[in-house]
Amino acid sequence: MVDMAELSAMHGSQASAQRMKKRRSAELRLQIYGILAITLAGAALVALLWSVVFKAAGALTETYVTLPVTLSAQELDPDGTGDPAVIGRADYGGFVKDLLKETFPSVTDRKARREMYDVVSAGAGFELRSKLQDDPSLIGEQIDYPFLASDVTDLYLKGSFGRLLPQPHSGNLSVIPSEDGKTAQILTSSNDFAAALSKVKLELIDQARGLRRQAAMQDAGVREFERRAANATSDEVRTENANQAISRATERDRLIALAEELEGRAASAGGTEQLTRTAPTVLVRVDQGWVKLTEINATGGVGRVVLPIEQTDALPADDWKMYLTDLPENARKISDNQIVLIEDLMARGAVETVFNTRFFSAGDSREPELAGLWGAIVGSFWTMLVTFLLAFPIGVGAAIYLEEFAPKNKLTDFIEVNINNLAAVPSIVFGLLGLAVFLGFFGVPRSSPLAGGIVLALMTLPTIIIASRAAIRAVPPSIRDAALGIGASRLQTSFHHVLPLAMPGILTGTIIGMAQALGETAPLIMIGMVAFIVDIPTGVTDSATVLPVQVFRWSDFPERAFEARTAAAICVLLVFLVIMNALAVFLRKRFERRW
Amino acid sequence: MTNMRMTDQDLSTRDTKIEARDVHVFYGDNEAINGVDVDILDKTVTAFIGPSGCGKSTFLRCLNRMNDTIPICRVTGDIKIDGGDIYDKSIDPVQLRAKVGMVFQKPNPFPKSIYDNIAYGPRIHGLVASKSDLDDVVEASLRKASIWEEVKDRLDAPGTGLSGGQQQRLCIARAIATAPEVLLMDEPCSALDPIATAKIEELIDDLRQDFSVVIVTHSMQQAARVSQKTAFFHLGDLVEYGETQKIFTNPEDKRTQDYITGRFG
């Protein structure tokens, strides 16, 4: 028998103090873990949002190149009909190219011309066409028309391909163009190009390092074959391995000699270096004329004329400029020619950056500068509409039936378990179901919001049913008793009393389910909503895509400009999700009733 | 005063309103009521007393078939109101409950306005043709439940904003509004303070003029104060049923004697 008085004496003993200490430190540890976890999650969220928003900022502006253009009637509407159909048939792509050729008459060779055409978007001609179709009276006029810049131009202006770094210089410049005007000799009176030269030489050290690495590999080969030769059992094998070792040693020595030569060039001041595609670009500018150096020494070099330059002698330092790019040409999507043309257009004041309304009003496009999100937003709207119209009434109806009317037996238990299981089914399975049943059997149009909406409704149903049942169950039974007690039928009780009280919870669950559906990609891929669709859908049977699928598609495109658009699309999606969740919170607070 | 009121009753002139014969109630396999015979008089307050779990509430809920809402509950035997079997197939429990109103243990007004609380019953049963008629019914019901003076200026205020005693009188008014003939009350004062209880008791005494009132109570004083007939239930049996005065002063059964003298329960 335990003596309770003895037990009570144990309170406050040393052991109990020890236990207390342990308990307190365990509690403290738990708190610290909790705070750490929350901090970590918060930091991850902030980092995610910051990176997405930061990337998305690039999609918020677009660039136009405004050029004076003569809308020659002869070219665009030879018969002067003023008929939009006739005007539409003209070759606007060629028209824009001709305009660029006129703007830069000195650009003549094929490759340079192709690069020049790339400064302006491929869609610029189509825009001009629709403008003229809307207003045929412009034909024959001369106007300043803003041509949409290409993604490359836009990205260059946003600094994605590095910057042109003006270099300090003090000497007087002499330019001696060659006879055909394609190259030019550059000379300054002081060592203005020494800094650029040493930058180019850094490149040499890099190359030498690479060569030495290769040499080391060859050296390893030499030793391996020498070992094999030493261990060889037959003369034949020994000779073969020895020969291998010798050829590798030769190669090693050649590489080392090359590396040493490069290192020697890098170490010595002065000298002349070739500028390859892997070296930073050195540009010299005199007014409208640009020369790209192909050969550099401390006081100048030889260059290719990009835009024509007058012969000059002893041009003072303030009248010429020297630039260095921070990325070599092969490390960026934009060529040196294009940089020069864009810089020239900027100097003319023809380049203008404006807010990108197109992104929020246009449909999808292969050209990043033409691509917009509106098609996906409208597609999402139609899809969500179908989802809501199907999932809400069916879900709430099922919840009311199961909670208020259904007998509690094995069958309803089975149904309940399966509804809960359905909520955990991977969403792509619903896509497969939609593909097999709705597209395959019922012939719902592929890629349509109708098909997507049905599939997402299936996916959302369990969420809505579970949330609605919880909300209905939370209505106190006394309300049901009260209604039944004065002679309301079960239907009247459910619809007049239970449902209005459960509605905030039901709506919250529905909106959460809809938000989940809005962000869903996988099932829609199965039913063909990943297709490339340019047109804005006008109904539930048109082909369409939705926001998350658009994000998925854009993230897959190789063009760099889609990176910013992907991030911007994610932001738009997030904004919609936040709005929906805020709406859920608002509805809950607004219609919450106490009893 | 209570005794005076009881003595000036002449119960022999009252008609029988509810006639129950051999009523058994089962919850699954568990028998909660084992054979109850009782005649409840019109324009009389009948009290059901007994220890917890004795089946008095269960029996009360048989009288307006509220037990139908419990899936595992089964009722056998005959219960007749004005001679008509309420468990007959032709009887719609919804119609029955309009005729047999009920007030619950905890005040349970709808989370709607006071007006809508009262008007809901008449509306769904189509008792009134016009808005002004409905206004009249609401006022009459609230007056009868002696709460009109307290709420007449705020009929649009939510019923849940009233005090507990007011809410319970609102619930009584709501039950009255469907023009029932019988009013069942399941411990209507158990959640109320003594002052609110006194008001409800006074009200019950008034209601006797128009309805047959059946009240389940745990308070023997309350049973003695408000009822003319008392039924004592014990373990599912109706032990003793008779005039309240007789039950409280000269019970026939030993168990009744023990219960009212506080020896158990």
List, as one string, the DSSP characters of B190-244: TTS-HHHHHHHHHHHHHHTTTSEEEEE-S-HHHHHHH-SEEEEEETTEEEEEEEH
Strand order in the sheet with A351-355: A142-148, A61-70, A351-355
Asked whether the beta carbons of B122 and B137 are under 8 A apart, the reply is yes
Secondary structure class of B115 (helix, strand, coil): helix
Between the alpha carbon of residue A202 and those of residues A161, A196, A209, A322, A483, the distances in Å are: 20, 10, 11, 19, 88
Paired tokens of A64: 């136009």
Q: Is the pLDDT of residue A2 over 80?
A: no
**Helices (H) then strands (E): counts for chain B:** 11, 10
- When CB atoms are compared, the residue of B97, B99, B111 closest to A484 is B97
For an interface test with A, the pick among B106, B110, B116 (most A C-beta atoms closer than 10 Å) comes out as: B110
**What is d(CA A198, CA A254) in angstroms, rounded to the nearest whole number?**
25
**What is d(CA A320, CA A172) in angstroms, rounded to the nearest whole number?**
9
Mean pLDDT of chain A: 89
**Percent above pLDDT 90 for chain A:** 48
On the CB side of A61, how many CA atoms lie within 13 Å of its CA?
14
Residue A476 with chain B: CB contacts under 8 Å: 108
Residue type, A487: G
Of A43-57, A439-453, A567-581, B86-100, minimum mean pLDDT range: B86-100
Instruction: Give the gap in angstroms from C-alpha B53 to the nearest C-alpha of chain A.
Output: 20
Residue A481 with chain B: CB contacts under 8 Å: 66, 102, 104, 108
Q: What is the mean pLDDT of residues A273-280?
A: 83
The reply to whether residue A487 touches residue B120, judged by beta carbons under 8 angstroms, is no
The reply to whether residue B108 touches residue A487, judged by beta carbons under 8 angstroms, is no
Question: Residue A316: which pLDDT band, with cuts at 50, 70 and 90?
Answer: confident
The reply to whether residue A482 touches residue B171, judged by beta carbons under 8 angstroms, is yes
* pLDDT value of residue B264: 66
Nearest Cα neighbor of A562 from A366, A292, A301, A349 is: A366
Asked whether the beta carbons of B6 and B245 are under 8 A apart, the reply is yes
B84-85 and B237-243 strand pairing: unpaired
* pLDDT value of residue A562: 92
**What is d(CA A505, CA A490) in angstroms, rounded to the nearest whole number?**
21
Paired tokens of B112: 């709607």
Nearest Cα neighbor of A176 from A186, A191, A162 is: A186
The reply to whether residue B104 touches residue A501, judged by beta carbons under 8 angstroms, is no
**What is d(CA A309, CA A283) in angstroms, rounded to the nearest whole number?**
12
Q: Is B101 on the interface with A (CB under 8 A)?
A: yes
* pLDDT value of residue A169: 86
Q: What is the mean pLDDT of residues A49-59?
A: 92
Q: Is the pLDDT of residue A378 over 90?
A: yes
Asked whether the beta carbons of A312 and A286 are under 8 A apart, the reply is yes
The reply to whether residue B175 touches residue A486, judged by beta carbons under 8 angstroms, is yes
Alpha-carbon torsion angle B125, B127, B129, B131, nearest 10? -90
Question: How buried is A6 (Cβ within 10 angstroms: 0-12 exposed, 13-18 middle, 19+ buried)?
Answer: exposed
* pLDDT value of residue B10: 62
Q: How confident is the model over A479-494, as pLDDT tens digits?
A: 999 999 888 888 999 9
Alpha-carbon torsion angle A247, A250, A255, A261, nearest 10? -160
Secondary structure class of B258 (helix, strand, coil): helix
- When CB atoms are compared, the residue of A408, A486, A489 closest to B120 is A486
- Tell me which chain B residue has its CA closest to the CA of residue A592: B111
The reply to whether residue A486 touches residue B104, judged by beta carbons under 8 angstroms, is no
Q: How many CB atoms lie within 10 A of CB A568?
A: 24
- When CB atoms are compared, the residue of B99, B109, B111 closest to A501 is B111
Nearest Cα neighbor of A520 from A453, A567, A422, A462 is: A453
Query: Which residues, 6+ apart, have CB-to-CB distance to A528 below 8 Å?
Result: A439, A446, A447, A451
Residue type, A437: V
Between the alpha carbon of residue A101 and those of residues A6, A110, A182, the distances in Å are: 105, 11, 17
**Residue B41 parent element (H or E):** strand B30-41
Between the alpha carbon of residue B17 and those of residues B63, B68, B84, the distances in Å are: 11, 22, 10
Asked whether the beta carbons of B46 and B231 are under 8 A apart, the reply is yes
- When CB atoms are compared, the residue of A484, A486, A492 closest to B174 is A486
Residue type, B46: T
Q: Is B73 on the interface with A (CB under 8 A)?
A: no
* pLDDT value of residue A498: 93
Question: Residue A594: which pLDDT band, with cuts at 50, 70 and 90?
Answer: low
Q: What is the mean pLDDT of residues A155-176?
A: 88
Asked whether the beta carbons of A283 and A290 are under 8 A apart, the reply is yes
* pLDDT value of residue B174: 93
**What is d(CA B227, CA B180) in angstroms, rounded to the nearest whole number?**
19
- Tell me which chain A residue has its CA closest to the CA of residue B93: A487
Query: Which residues, 6+ apart, have CB-to-CB distance to B174 below 8 Å?
Result: A482, A486, B109, B117, B118, B120, B121, B141
* pLDDT value of residue A593: 65
Q: How confident is the model over A297-312, as pLDDT tens digits?
A: 888 889 988 888 877 8
Of the ranges A29-38, A123-132, A267-276, B1-10, which is most confident?
A29-38
Nearest Cα neighbor of A126 from A173, A94, A171, A161 is: A94
The reply to whether residue B104 touches residue A481, judged by beta carbons under 8 angstroms, is yes
Reported residue count of chain A is: 595
* pLDDT value of residue A56: 92
Of the ranges A25-34, A183-192, B240-249, which is most confident?
A25-34
Asked whether the beta carbons of A178 and A184 are under 8 A apart, the reply is yes
**What is d(CA A361, CA A370) in angstroms, rounded to the nearest whole number?**
10
**What is d(CA A573, CA A477) in angstroms, rounded to the nearest whole number?**
41
Which DSSP state fits A149?
Answer: B
Residue B69 with chain A: CB contacts under 8 Å: 480, 484
Nearest Cα neighbor of A504 from A531, A536, A529, A474 is: A474
**Residue B254 parent element (H or E):** helix B254-260
Asked whether the beta carbons of A314 and A189 are under 8 A apart, the reply is yes
Query: Which residues, 6+ apart, have CB-to-CB distance to A410 below 8 Å?
Result: none
Using the CB atoms, write b or e for A158-196: b if 16+ within 10 Å: bebbbebeebebebbbbbebeeeeebbebbbeebbbeeb
List, for chain B, all residue ranges whose pLDDT scores fall below the cut of 70: 1-12, 264-265
The reply to whether residue B125 touches residue A487, judged by beta carbons under 8 angstroms, is yes
A142-148 and A61-70 strand pairing: antiparallel
Cα angle value A209/A212/A217 (rounded, 5°) = 135
The reply to whether residue A486 touches residue B110, judged by beta carbons under 8 angstroms, is no
Q: How many CB atoms lie within 10 A of CB A408?
A: 11
Instruction: Give the gap in angstroms from C-alpha B111 to the nearest C-alpha of chain A.
Output: 6
Q: How confident is the model over A423-471, as pLDDT tens digits?
A: 889 999 999 999 999 998 998 898 899 999 999 999 999 999 999 999 9
Q: How many CB atoms lie within 10 A of CB A114?
A: 12
Q: What DSSP string describes A19-86?
A: HHHHHHHHHHHHHHHHHHHHHHHHHHHHHHHHHHHHHHGGGGEEEEEEEEEE--HHHH-TT----HHH
Instruction: Give the gap in angstroms from C-alpha B249 to the nearest C-alpha of chain A.
Output: 35
**What is d(CA A447, CA A444) in angstroms, rounded to the nearest whole number?**
9
